Chain A
Amino acid sequence: MTHPITLRVNGVPYPLGVDAHATLLNVIRDQVALTGSKEGCDDSECGACMMLIDGQPVNSCSYLAVQADDTEVTTVEGLAPDDKLAPLQEAFLVEGAVQCGFCTPGMLISATCLLRDNPHPATDEVRIALSGNLCRCTGYDGIVRAVLDVAASRSADPRSIARPAVSRHER
C-alpha cells in the first residue's frame, strides 16, 4: 500500500507515493533521486544520512518518509542551490576536511545546523555537535577547523537555513 505524500526537497515540491515503512533516506535517494545523502549504518550511529526537516536535523535512515509529508527537507544538494559553494563547503575544501567524502554530506548538514543555532561555538561545542557524524579519514581535525573558520569569518551564512519560528511539534 502506498501513501501519497508531498515532500518539498531543497525548495522543490515532489508529490510521491511511498510505502509506509520506507525511510526518508531511501525515498530521497530512490524516488527523488538525490543521492548526496548516504547510508553508512542504517541505525542512526554514523550520521551520513543527516538531513534537515523543517530546519531540524534528522537521521533520515531512521525516519519514515510518510512522517515527513508536507515538510521542507534540506539535503546537502540544497546547501549550494545556485552553484556557488556555501562558506562551509569552501572551508571544508580549504582545510582538508574532505578525504573520501562519504561522511561529508551529513557532516555539512550537521555543521550548518550548529552554526545557525550557535554562530560562535567554542571548539568543544563544535566537537560535541559533530559527534553523531562519524568520519574515519580525517580525525575530524580539518572539519573542526573549517567550522571554526566559518564561525570566525561571519555571523551567519545569509543563505543558510532559516530557523523555524515555531518547532514542528507546536504548529
Chain B
Amino acid sequence: MTMAPERTPFIRSDGKEKVTGAGRYTADLNLTGQLHAKFRYADHPHARILSIDTAAARALPGVFAVLTWEDVPDVLYGGSVNDRRLFAKEKVRWEGDIVAAVAARTADLAAEAAGLIDVRYEVLPPLTDFAANAEADAQLVHEAWADYEADENLGLSGNILGHSSIVKGDADAAMAGADVVVKSRYVADASQGAPIEPRAIVADWQGDKVTVWSSTQVPFAARSGIAHTLNIPESQVRIIVPLLGGGFGSKCDFHFEAHVAALARATRRPVKLVFSRREEFLAPDHRREGMIIELETGASRDGRLVARRGRLILDKGAYCGEGGFFAQMAAMHACGPYQIDAVNVDSYLNYSNQQPSGSIRAPTAPQACWALEQHMDELAAALEMDPAELRRRTLIGEGDEGPAGQVFEEIGAKQTLEAALDMIGYGRELPEDEAIGVACGWWPSFGVPSGAYVKLNRDGTGTIVTGAMESGTGAVMGLPLLAAEALGMKAEDFSILYQDTDAGPWDMGSSGSQTTFNNGRAVVEAATEVREKLLDLAADDLEVSRDDLVLADGTLSVKGSPDSSVTIATLAGSGEPILGKGSGDVPEAPAVDASGCVGRLGLESFLAPQLITQAARVKLDRDTGVIRVLEVAAAHDSGVIVNRIGADGQVYGGVLMGIGQALSEATWFDDEGRQLNPGLLDYKLQTASDAPEINIRWVEIDTPNAGPNGGKGVGEPPSVPTPGAIGNAIAKLVGRPIDRLPMTPERVWEAIHGGPEE
C-alpha cells in the first residue's frame, strides 16, 4: 500500500474554453431555420386517456408540428423491461408522462400550442404507496405487464418490477444463535441528480440521417434509443454531445432525443428543446429512488457478525428505464463491505405512479449505506463496543468472503477506516454540541467493453479518438496521461476527439464510474500499439534492433548512445500512418456460487470493489435541529490513482452531494404523486457557505484484475457513506438515530423534542 503523491499540476484540455465562456453547451447551439419544441405533459399522475384533440394547437399560426403516439411507430422501449412509449397511448402513469410534442417558431408559441391540446381522461386512483403496490389486490400501474419484453432474471410480476435476494448460509438459524440481535427500520426519500445545466437537445435531418446534439451522459444509448423507437438503423443516427454541464446520473439513459428527432423529421427543420429548471425536476424519468430499509443483525459478544436479515422496498416509479438492477444493488449495499457468516436479504423494486427512478451517482447505495451504517452503530451500542472498533473487527480484507461468497483479493477497507479515523482525530474532546460519526461503504467496478484509437499527427502530437464521455468529471480529460505515459510524450501533446458516435467506438458512457477503468485500458492498449510501430520505424531508421531502443521525452534513442536518435515528430512527419487501436481485456467479477439467490443480475459479486470510509464532524443547534457539517475526512481505496487532481475533485463534489442528500435534498410528492418542490429554492443544494473542510486520503493498492495501472473507479463512491457518517454523528448528539432521510432540521428536532418513538 502506498499513499498518493501530492497533486501535480494538470490543466484539463477543455478548461480554457470553460473559463472564457467560449465553450459551447447544447443550449448554446442554434441552427438556421430552427424551430422550438415543447411537451404536453400528463395532466394527472394516473389516468386513462380517452381522447387527444390537437386541432386547436395545429391551427395556431407558427406551429409546424404536433405529434402524439399516432405519429410515431408503436414501439415499447426500456432498459430491462420494455414498458414505455415515446408518447402515452392508453394511460398516463406519472406527471411527467409525455402526451404530445409541439414544434413552433418560438418556444413561447410552442408552449401556448401545447396548452391548447385537448386531452380527455378518466382519472384513476394514484398508486403512490410503492410498498402497498406489491400487495396481491393492488391495482396495477401496468395492466399489460405480462406481455412486456423483460429480463427474465428480474422476476417481473404485477407491480413488482424486480425481486432479488442475497443469500449465504442459513441466516435464520445463525440469528437464533446470536448473542445480540438488533433490528432497525429506515425510510429514505427520493432525491435528484440536479445538474446545473438543464438538458437540451437539437436535432437536424440531412437526407435519411439525423444528427442529434444532446446533453446526454450516454450518447450510444441515445443512439440506440432513437433507432429503436423511430424504427431506423443505428447507422442513420449520429449523436454529438457538446460540452456537458454535469449529469450525476440524471442524464444517463435515453430520454427525449427521439421526440425531438421526430419533430425535426415531421417539420423538415432543425428543432431545439431546452428544459426549464422546473422541467429538469419534473420531466426526466430519472431521480434517486425512495427506499424502505429493514435490517436485523445478529452478533456474537466479541463483535462477529453471525447473521444479517434484511428486507428492502424501492420505489421504481412509473417505468423501468435503466434502473432494473436496483433491487440487487441495494441488497448488496444492505450487506456492505463486512464479513458476515450468514445472509438473507430480500429486495423489491416496485412500480408506482411517481417519477421513475434511475441511476443517480451510486444508485441505491447512499440510502442503503445510511441505513446500514446507523444500524451498525446501533449494534455497536448494544454490544457496548466503540463503533469504530466494531468496524475494525468486521470489515472485509484479503481472503474474506463477500455477502454471496465472493473471495476478495487485496483490498483496502480496513486501511480506509484507520486513515479516516486518523484524519478526523477520532476520540478527541469535542464541544457538547459536536460529534463525529463514521461510516464505511463500497461500490463495484463495472467491466464493460470500450474502445479507443490513438493516432500520431505529422507534427509529432497525438490524437485520442474515443467513444468515452466527459460529463465534467475529468475522466476523458485524464486519458492523455495514460497515452503519454505509454509513449514517452507529454499529456498536453494529445488532443481528444470524443462525444461523437460517428467517431469513437461504442462506449457505455459517463456512468458506473467506469470511464478510466475501461476506456483507460483501451487507450493504453491503443497507445501500446503505436509504441510498437514507433519502435519498428525507429529500428529501421537507426538500423538497430528494437530491443536497443529507449522511448522517452518524444525521442527514440539507442541505449548507450543518446546521439543516435530520432524524434517521434520526425517519424510521424514522414507521412507513414501511425495508428493504434485498443479495447483491452474486460475483467470479470469473481465467480460465486449464488445458487441460493434469486433475481441474479450479475451483481452478487463485486468486481474490484472500491472501499470508502468517511468520518464527519457535525454541530447541532439543539433548539432548531439545524445541523452543520464542519469537517469530513474521506479515505478511499480506488486502486492506483491516475489523475490526482481529478480524483480529488470527485471526492469534494461527491461528499458535498452526500451532505445534501443527508440534510437538505429531497423530492417530496403530494398524495397524487406530484412533486412538491421542483425548484432550487425548495430543493436545496448545498452552497459554498455550507461546504465543510474536506480532507482526503487515498489508499492506493495496485489492484489485480482492474483498470489501467491497477486503478478502479472514483466518480460514484464519494457519495456512498456521507449520509451514514453524518447520521451517526447526529445520533450521538440526539441519543438515537434519525430514521428518515434527509435528516432535515424538523426531523432532527422531532427526535430531540419527543417526536414519535418507533
Q: Is the CB of A85 within 8 A of B9?
A: no
- CB neighbours (8 Å) of A36 from chain B are 20-22
Q: Is the CB of B195 within 8 A of A136?
A: yes
Q: Is A13 an interface residue (CB 8 A)?
A: no
The minimal Cβ–Cβ distance linking B249 to chain A, given in whole angstroms, is: 11
The minimal Cβ–Cβ distance linking A98 to chain B, given in whole angstroms, is: 5
- CB neighbours (8 Å) of A131 from chain B are 687-689
Q: Is B198 an interface residue (CB 8 A)?
A: yes
Q: Is the CB of A128 within 8 A of B689?
A: yes
The minimal Cβ–Cβ distance linking A104 to chain B, given in whole angstroms, is: 5
A138 to B248, CA, bound (A): 12
The minimal Cβ–Cβ distance linking A38 to chain B, given in whole angstroms, is: 7
A103 to B656, CA, bound (A): 16
- CB neighbours (8 Å) of B28 from chain A are 29, 35
Query: Pick the contact of A137 from B11, B15, B276, B653 — CB < 8 Å?
Result: B653
A151 to B691, CA, bound (A): 20
Q: How many positions in chain B have a CB within 8 Å of any CB in the partner chain?
A: 55
Q: Is the CB of A93 within 8 A of B15?
A: yes
A108 to B19, CA, bound (A): 8
Q: Is A89 an interface residue (CB 8 A)?
A: yes
Q: Is the CB of A139 within 8 A of B691?
A: yes
A126 to B18, CA, bound (A): 21
- CB neighbours (8 Å) of B243 from chain A are 100-101
Q: Is A149 an interface residue (CB 8 A)?
A: no
Q: Is the CB of B196 within 8 A of A136?
A: yes
- CB neighbours (8 Å) of B471 from chain A are 100
Q: Is B681 an interface residue (CB 8 A)?
A: yes
Q: Is the CB of A99 within 8 A of B246?
A: yes
- CB neighbours (8 Å) of A41 from chain B are 277, 679-680
Q: Is the CB of A100 within 8 A of B246?
A: yes
Q: Is the CB of B645 within 8 A of A96?
A: yes
Q: Is the CB of B9 within 8 A of A141?
A: no
Most chain-A Cβ atoms within 10 A of its Cβ — which of B9, B21, B22, B685?
Answer: B21
Q: Is A63 an interface residue (CB 8 A)?
A: no
Q: Is the CB of A104 within 8 A of B194?
A: no
Interface mask (A75-116 → B, CB under 8 Å = 1, otherwise 0): 111011000010001001110101111111100100000000
Q: Is the CB of A93 within 8 A of B12?
A: yes
A100 to B680, CA, bound (A): 19
Query: Pick the contact of B21 from A93, A105, A141 — CB < 8 Å?
Result: A105
Q: Is B182 an interface residue (CB 8 A)?
A: no
Q: For B473, give the chain A residue with the smallest CB separation.
A: A99
The minimal Cβ–Cβ distance linking B124 to chain A, given in whole angstroms, is: 33
Q: Is the CB of A77 within 8 A of B22?
A: yes
Interface mask (B638-663 → A, CB under 8 Å = 1, otherwise 0): 00000001101101111111000000
- CB neighbours (8 Å) of B651 from chain A are 139
Interface mask (B82-115 → A, CB under 8 Å = 1, otherwise 0): 0000000000000000000000000000000000
- CB neighbours (8 Å) of B460 from chain A are none
A79 to B21, CA, bound (A): 9
Q: Is the CB of B685 within 8 A of A134?
A: yes
Q: Is the CB of A100 within 8 A of B656?
A: no
A93 to B694, CA, bound (A): 20
Q: For A104, give the chain B residue with the smallest CB separation.
A: B18
Q: Is B43 an interface residue (CB 8 A)?
A: no
- CB neighbours (8 Å) of B9 from chain A are 94
The minimal Cβ–Cβ distance linking B702 to chain A, given in whole angstroms, is: 25
Q: Is B205 an interface residue (CB 8 A)?
A: no
- CB neighbours (8 Å) of B653 from chain A are 99, 135-139
Q: Is the CB of B688 within 8 A of A96?
A: no
Q: Is the CB of B20 within 8 A of A103?
A: no
The minimal Cβ–Cβ distance linking B203 to chain A, given in whole angstroms, is: 19
The minimal Cβ–Cβ distance linking A48 to chain B, given in whole angstroms, is: 6
Q: Is the CB of B25 within 8 A of A38?
A: yes
Are A141 and B694 also in contact (CB < 8 A) when A98-B19, A100-B472, A136-B194 are? yes
- CB neighbours (8 Å) of B23 from chain A are 101
The minimal Cβ–Cβ distance linking B631 to chain A, given in whole angstroms, is: 13
Query: Pick the contact of B649 from A29, A96, A128 — CB < 8 Å?
Result: A96
The minimal Cβ–Cβ distance linking B744 to chain A, given in whole angstroms, is: 19
- CB neighbours (8 Å) of A108 from chain B are 19
- CB neighbours (8 Å) of A98 from chain B are 12, 15, 18-19
Are A45 and B472 also in contact (CB < 8 A) when A35-B24, A136-B685, A143-B688 are? no
- CB neighbours (8 Å) of A124 from chain B are 689
Q: Is the CB of B20 within 8 A of A100?
A: no
A100 to B651, CA, bound (A): 15
A50 to B701, CA, bound (A): 43
Interface mask (A8-39 → B, CB under 8 Å = 1, otherwise 0): 00000000000000000000010000111111
Q: For B646, give the chain A residue with the smallest CB separation.
A: A96
Most chain-B Cβ atoms within 10 A of its Cβ — which of A40, A45, A141?
Answer: A141
- CB neighbours (8 Å) of A105 from chain B are 21
Interface mask (A34-75 → B, CB under 8 Å = 1, otherwise 0): 111111111101101000000000000000000000000001
Are A102 and B19 also in contact (CB < 8 A) when A93-B11, A138-B652 are? no
Q: For A126, give the chain B residue with the smallest CB separation.
A: B688
- CB neighbours (8 Å) of A100 from chain B are 195-197, 243-246, 471-472
Q: Is B27 an interface residue (CB 8 A)?
A: yes
The minimal Cβ–Cβ distance linking B614 to chain A, given in whole angstroms, is: 13
Q: Is A119 an interface residue (CB 8 A)?
A: no
The minimal Cβ–Cβ distance linking A136 to chain B, given in whole angstroms, is: 5
Interface mask (B249-270 → A, CB under 8 Å = 1, otherwise 0): 0000000000000000000000
> Using a CB-CB cutoff of 8 Å, which residues 16-44 of chain B contact chain A?
16-25, 27-28
- CB neighbours (8 Å) of B688 from chain A are 126-128, 130-131, 133, 135, 140, 143-144
A101 to B14, CA, bound (A): 9
- CB neighbours (8 Å) of A121 from chain B are none
A137 to B648, CA, bound (A): 11
A131 to B653, CA, bound (A): 15
- CB neighbours (8 Å) of B687 from chain A are 127, 130-132, 134
A35 to B311, CA, bound (A): 50
11 pairs of residues in contact across A and B, judged by CB atoms under 8 Å = A35-B27, A36-B20, A43-B681, A45-B277, A77-B20, A96-B648, A127-B689, A137-B473, A139-B655, A139-B694, A140-B656
Q: Which 5 A-B pairs have the closest CB atoms?
A: A36-B21, A100-B472, A102-B245, A101-B18, A139-B652
Known: A85-B20, A124-B689, A136-B685. 19 other contacts (CB 8 A): A38-B27, A39-B27, A39-B274, A41-B679, A46-B196, A76-B20, A77-B20, A85-B16, A89-B20, A96-B474, A96-B648, A99-B246, A100-B246, A134-B196, A139-B653, A139-B654, A139-B691, A140-B656, A141-B652
**Residues of chain A whose beta carbon lies under 8 Å from any beta carbon of chain B:** 29, 34-43, 45-46, 48, 75-77, 79-80, 85, 89, 92-94, 96, 98-105, 108, 124, 126-128, 130-144
